[in-house]
Amino acid sequence: MARITAGIATSHVPAIGAAIDLGKTGDEYWAPVFAGYEWVRTWIKDNTPDVVILCYNDHASAMMLDIVPTFALGFAEEYEPADEGWGARPVPTVMGDPDLAGHLAEQLVIDDFDLTIMNAMDVDHGLTVPLSLVFGQVEEWPCRVIPLAVNVTQFPTPSADRCWQLGAAIRDAVEAYPEDLDVQVWGTGGMSHQLQGERAGLINPEFDNAFLDKLIDGTDELRAITRLQFLREAGSEGIELIMWLIMRAALGEKVEQLHRFYHVPASNTAVGHTVLRPVAD
Amino acid sequence: MRQRLYPLEDLEDIPGTTVFTARRSRQAYHLHKFCMSLMDKDNRNAFKADERAYLDRFRMTEEQKQAVLARDFNGLIELGGNIYFLVKLSNTDGWSAQKAVGSMTGMTPDEYAAMMRAGGRSPEGQKSKRDQG
C-alpha cells in the first residue's frame, strides 16, 4: 500500500527561482536564503519519494482568467514550466502520475471535495521553485509530481479548515492506494507578504513564527484562523499559508519536526521552510 | 440567514489593501486577458513595438489602457487588477517583482528595498482602518 512518509513546507518566491537560474545563490543577498535549504537538499537524497503531491497556487499562468477553480488536481502525464513574461524557467518538465491522480480524484470527490480536473496545464514558479529548492539544479526531477492548485487569489478562497479537511482526506486516499509507493505532500507559498497597495512589504515575523510553532502541535488554532485574520496579520498574499495546512493534515495527528528555517526577506516575502515526519500513535 | 464569522464588509477595513473579489476579477477581465497575452514572446514584442496599438486589440476601458501605459500599478489595482496578472507586464518590462510592488508604496525602489532588507513593513497600526481612527 502507499504511505505518506513526510511533509515539506516552503515559500515559493519567484525571485528565488531567478536567483537559482541566474547563478546568484552565493550572492550576499541570497546566500542566507539558500543556507536554510542545505539541510533538506542532503536529507532528500536518502528520502526521495516516488510521488510528491504538491499544493501550490497558480499565479495567473494556467488558470484564474477564464476559469477559477478552488481546488484543481493535475491529471496530465507531464507539465511544462510556464512562461510568466520573461521566458520559461530552464528547469525539467514535471512528470505526473495520472494513475494515482485518478485514484485521488475518485476518493476525494466521493468524500465531498468537488475537485476540478486539469488534463493539461503549464506549471509556474509556485510549483517549480519548491522543486528547485529541494532537489537543486537537475537534468530531470527525481520523482513524479501531482499538482494540486488551490485558489488563494480570488476571494473567497477556501478556508483554513477546509484545506485541513482536504489534507486529511488525501491521507486516507493515499493509504487506500494499492501500489507500494512513498508519497510526500508539500505545502507551498507564504509566509507573510503583501504585494499590493500602500501596505505592500508587510512582514509579520510574530505571526509567522507562531504559525510554525503551531504547525507541530497547535493545529486546532491554525484551522480556526479566518481569511480576514490572514489578510490583516499576514498580508494579502500571506493567505497562501492555508496550503501548508493541507500538507500538515495529510501527515496525521502527530508529527516530528526534522527541520525549520525562517528568513526575511526574499524580495517582498518572509521565507519559511519546514520538514515534518508523521509519528505513529 | 446563515451565520458568518465576521461581516464581509470588514474585508474593506484593511489599510492600503484591496481584496480581489469575483466582481473585481470581472471588472478586470479584459485587462487581465491583455496581461496573460504577455506570456507569449511574439505578443511581448508586438506590445513593445507599439504599446497603444497592442492595447487597442483588447476590450479594456480607456482608464485601464492609460494606467498600463503609465505603469500605474495602484491605478490598475483600483480598476480591478490583481498583482499576479499585473506582474506579466512588469516582467515584460524587465522589472523585478520588488520594483513593481514597491512602486505602489510611494517609496523609491532604493527606499523600498532598504525597508525590506531591514525586515519589511511592520504590521503594527496597519491591521485595521477603524483602529487608525
A281 pLDDT above the threshold of 80: no
A264 pLDDT above the threshold of 80: yes
- CB contact at 8 A, A84 and B39: yes
CA dist., res. A258 & res. A107, Å (int): 30
List residues bridging with A188 in a β-sheet.
Answer: A10
A30 pLDDT above the threshold of 80: yes
The average pLDDT across A132-146 equals: 98
Which of A85, A202, A233 has its CB closest to that of B121?
A202
Predicted confidence at residue B120, as pLDDT, reads 98
CA dist., res. A249 & res. A111, Å (int): 15
B119 pLDDT above the threshold of 90: yes
Q: A192: domain range?
A: 3-278
Q: Tell me the pTM.
A: 0.97
Nearest CA in chain B to A63: B36
pLDDT digits (tens, 9 = 90+) for B39-58: 999 999 999 999 999 999 99
Give the confidence band of B131 by pLDDT, cuts at 50, 70, 90. confident
Mutation site, A59, A86, A153, interface B, largest B CB count within 10 A: A86
CATH number at residue A155: 3.40.830.10
8 Å CB contact of B82 and A154: yes
CB contacts of B35 in chain A (<8 Å) are 60
Which of B15, B97, B106 has its CB closest to that of A267?
B97
8 Å CB contact of A201 and B106: no
B38 pLDDT above the threshold of 90: yes
8 Å CB contact of A155 and B11: yes
B88 pLDDT above the threshold of 90: yes
Give the confidence band of B108 by pLDDT, cuts at 50, 70, 90. very high
HEC string of B70-119 equals: CCCHHHHHHCCCCHHHHHHHHHHCCCCHHHHHHCCCCCCHHHHHHHHHCC
Active site residue A125: yes
Predicted confidence at residue A170, as pLDDT, reads 98
Which fold, B19-94? Answer: Protocatechuate 4,5-dioxygenase; Chain A (1.10.700)
Which of A84, A200, A236 has its CB closest to that of B91?
A84
Predicted confidence at residue B55, as pLDDT, reads 98
Active site residue A103: no
Count the domains in chain A: 1
CA dist., res. B15 & res. B9, Å (int): 13
A271 pLDDT above the threshold of 90: yes
CB contacts of A63 in chain B (<8 Å) are none
A234 pLDDT above the threshold of 90: yes
The average pLDDT across A92-112 equals: 98
The average pLDDT across A95-108 equals: 98
B133 pLDDT above the threshold of 90: no
Place of cell 542532503: A42
Predicted confidence at residue B1, as pLDDT, reads 85
Which of A60, A154, A231 has its CB closest to that of B36?
A60
Nearest CA in chain B to A84: B39
CA-based nearest distance B47→chain A, Å: 12
pLDDT digits (tens, 9 = 90+) for B4-35: 999 999 999 999 999 999 999 999 999 999 99
Predicted confidence at residue B132, as pLDDT, reads 83
Model ipTM value = 0.96
CB-defined contacts A:B, below 8 A: 162
The average pLDDT across A78-99 equals: 97
For residue B128, the SS3 value is coil
Predicted confidence at residue B96, as pLDDT, reads 93
Write out the three cell numbers for A277: 515526519
Tell me the average pLDDT of chain B: 96
CB contacts of A64 in chain B (<8 Å) are 32, 84-85
CA dist., res. A165 & res. A158, Å (int): 11
Beta strands (DSSP E) in chain A are 3-10, 51-56, 71-74, 78-79, 94-95, 116-118, 144-150, 182-188, 255-266, 269-278
- CB contact at 8 A, A125 and A14: yes
Say if residue A156 is preceded by a cis peptide, omega within 30 of 0.
yes
**Helix B41-49 vs helix B83-92: angle between axes, to the nearest 10 degrees?**
70
B17 inside 8 A of chain A by CB: yes
Relative to beta strand A71-74, strand A51-56 is unpaired
Catalytic-role residue among A59, A193, A259, A263: A193
Indicate the residue type of A26. Answer: G
Please name the residues between 71 and 100 in chain B that touch chain A, using a CB distance below 8 Å.
73-74, 77, 82-85, 87-92, 94, 96-98
Which of A61, A154, A264 has its CB closest to that of B21?
A154
Predicted confidence at residue A280, as pLDDT, reads 87
Please name the residues between 26 and 55 in chain B that touch chain A, using a CB distance below 8 Å.
29, 32-33, 35-36, 38-41, 44
CA-based nearest distance B63→chain A, Å: 18
Q: Which of A266, A153, A274 is nearest to A215 (CA)?
A: A274
Distances (CA, A) of B88 to A71, A96, A277: 23, 26, 37
Percentage above 70 pLDDT, chain B: 99
A73 pLDDT above the threshold of 90: yes
CA dist., res. B83 & res. A217, Å (int): 34
